[in-house]
Structure 1
Amino acid sequence: MSALRKWLFTGLLVIVPGVITVWVLHWIISTLDQTLYLLPADWQPDHLLGMHIPGFGVILTLVVLLSIGAIASNFVGRKLVSWGDAVITRIPVVRSIYSSVKQVSDTVFSDNGNAFRTAVLVQWPREGVWTVAFITGNPAGEVASYLRDEFVSVFVPTTPNPTGGYFVLMRKSDCVELEMSVDAALKYIVSMGVVVPPPLPLPDEER
């Protein structure tokens, strides 16, 4: 029985990651394929080709994103984006939601943003218990005026879903900066400590 149990769990370890990966990819492709229904009926690939080929929605989405990015990157495009932002920020309720989402997206996706750039080790949720977190910036404005020491903004993600978590302000001296990359730290968190980041190579003088 112990051998059968071992084989069962070994089979699950081999099969489950592949099945979940295929399921996630199928869900993404199926969701993006729904964007094809935004096209006129005569322009839809199913009508033109006479058959459904999965993946056209992915191509259409990439083309749209690249086109919008190319347009928004030039002078005229930036003016249009600024004009659109000005219009939306005049709409009650909508402006509060849009402004919050835009600030987060600008911080995360901007080339000069500083979100999730440094992985740190902090004591959370109490002293003596350590977890991996990310420095997202420095306090500013009214909040900074109440903090006497040097503080940093820290995001403490939850496991195994790092999209949720806690935003806290901690003394910089209480954060232990790690050499591991953000990607390695995220894998470490998502795997609940199972996927350990590889050790860093030793400097030449220590070899």
Structure 2
Amino acid sequence: MSTEEAAKLIISGGIISPPERAEPFPAAQAEPGAFAESDISTATASNVLEQELARQEQAGDDGHRGFGLLARLRNYFLAGVLVTAPISITVWITWNVVAFVDSRVTPLMPPGWNPESYLPFSVPGIGVLVVFVALTLVGMFATGLIGRLLMTVYERLLNGLPVIRSVYSAIKQIFETVLAQRSNAFRQVVLVQYPRPDSWALAFLTAETQGDVARKAPEESINVFLPTTPNPTSGFLLFVPKAEAKVLTMTVEEGAKMIISGGIITPPEPPELQKPEGGHGDAPGSGNQSVPTAAQQGGR
């Protein structure tokens, strides 16, 4: 592969493979025992509070009325934090994103189209709405005959520029691959041995290894993206032997939560995959199976 193809492969986390392709990687099947994510609610805080109070009563903490009152106040405070913190942080992040987009878009709007020019207060979300409408109109125009002709001329012009050509081509291919095949990229969570044997790390399966890397690799391999904690936007592209990667039953969203939290948040195992009491060995589908081959997927 060329240097440009290698750069695309690394930047995309293994999603974009060189033109020379092997057998396409099979589409991921629905994960068995998928379960819905529980919402954070006041019931969760109430359960935590009740459990803590019951523990203190069993330990005899309520024998001292003063200490018991302080313990209850502390538990009420923690329950309030548990309820309000996730909601507050979510609202704060959303508000800042909307405010950032509005601050960049609204100054570019004509005064007659900007509600803030004739209203005594600002209207949050106008910039986000304008961006959404603008992108939709651009997409409608680009899919038409005139739009396709203009895009052809535009791309020919960019292809004549040495440095910009490589940057534009890489970015365009990444977006086309992720948006057009989003069900194939980051399809499964796997366990891989990193950074040394018997030390395991969570990674996301992106594609089957193809091209030059597949020919030079000693075994049939897969492309995995191993994100870092707590910032999952950076990480490493690894080419792992398919037989050594262990597929997990958790979803990609659950894997991302576990990575971002540094392992604090662990997704619960579905009931049908839990070990029976007093049993030995791994339950079926507990994550010790390797990545299925194309023949195995086709025979299901």
Q: What's the TM-score once normalised by structure 1's chain length?
A: 0.83
Deviation digits for residues 87-112 of structure 1 (CA, Å, limit 9, x no counterpart): 22322322222222222222222236
Q: Which amino acid aligns with 1:109?
A: L
Give the match for residue 159 of structure 2.
89
Query: Any residues of structure 2 matched to 1:15-34 within 5 Å, and which?
Result: 15-33=84-102, 34=104
| C-alpha distance in 1 between matches for 2:87 and 2:95 | 12
Structure 1 residues 30, 171: closer, same or farther in 2, change over 3 A? Answer: same
**Quick one: structure 1 residues 200 and 87, their matched pair in 2 at CA, closer, same or farther if it must change by over 3 Å?**
farther
For the residues of structure 2 that align with 1:114 and 1:16, how far apart are their CA atoms?
A: 34
Aligned to 2:251: 181
Paired residue for 1:137? 207
Residues 46 and 112 (structure 1), Cα distance of their counterparts in 2 relative to 1, 3 Å cut? closer
Aligned equivalents of 1:201, 1:6: Cα separation in 2? 31
Correspondence list, 1:68-79, <5 A: 68-74=138-144, 76-79=146-149
User: Identity of aligned pairs, percent?
Assistant: 38
Q: Tell me the alpha carbon deviations over residues 177-207 of structure 1, each in whole angstroms, 9 at most, x when there is no partner.
A: 122221221122222222222323528xx9x
In structure 2, the CA distance between the partners of 1:95 and 1:74, relative to structure 1 (3 Å rule), is same
- 1:154 matched to which residue of 2? 224
CA contact (8 A) 1:107 1:113 kept: no
Judging by fraction of residues, say which structure has more strand. 1
Take 1:154 and 1:199, find their aligned partners in 2: how far apart are those partners?
A: 23
Q: Does residue 1:190 correspond to 2:260, yes or no?
A: yes
Gap regions ≥5 residues in structure 1? none
Distance 2:271 2:135 in 1: 39
Q: Report what 2:170 is aligned to.
A: 100
Q: Distance in 2 between matches of 1:134 and 1:117?
A: 7
Out of 149-158 and 33-42, give the one that drifted further. Answer: 33-42
The answer on whether the counterparts of 1:107 and 1:114 sit within 8 Å (CA) in structure 2 is: no
Q: Report the equivalent of 2:106.
A: 36
Which AA in structure 2 matches 1:20? I
AA in 2 matched with 1:94: I
Equivalent position SS for 1:192: coil
Three-state SS of the structure 2 residue aligned to 1:120 is strand
Instruction: Report which stretch shifted further, 76-85 or 176-185.
Output: 76-85
Cα deviation digits, residues 109-139 of structure 1 (max 9, x gap): 2236622112111111111111211111123
In 2, the alpha carbon distance for the partners of 1:6 and 1:50 equals: 44
Match runs of 1:110-121 below 5 Å:
110-111=180-181, 114-121=184-191
How big is each residue's C-alpha offset from its partner over 1:43-89, in whole Å with a ceiling of 9 and x where there is no partner? 22211435311111111111122222333344554444344333223
| Structure 1 counterpart of 2:123 | 53
CA distance in 2, matches of 1:120, 1:154: 8
Q: Tell me the matched-pair count.
A: 204
Letter in 1 for 2:212: E
- Higher RCO, 1 or 2 (CA under 8 Å, sep at least 6)? 2
RMSD over aligned CA atoms reads 2.8
Do 2:192 and 2:202's aligned partners in 1 also have CA atoms closer than 8 Å? yes
Which has the higher mean CA deviation after the structures are superposed, 46-55 or 124-133? 46-55
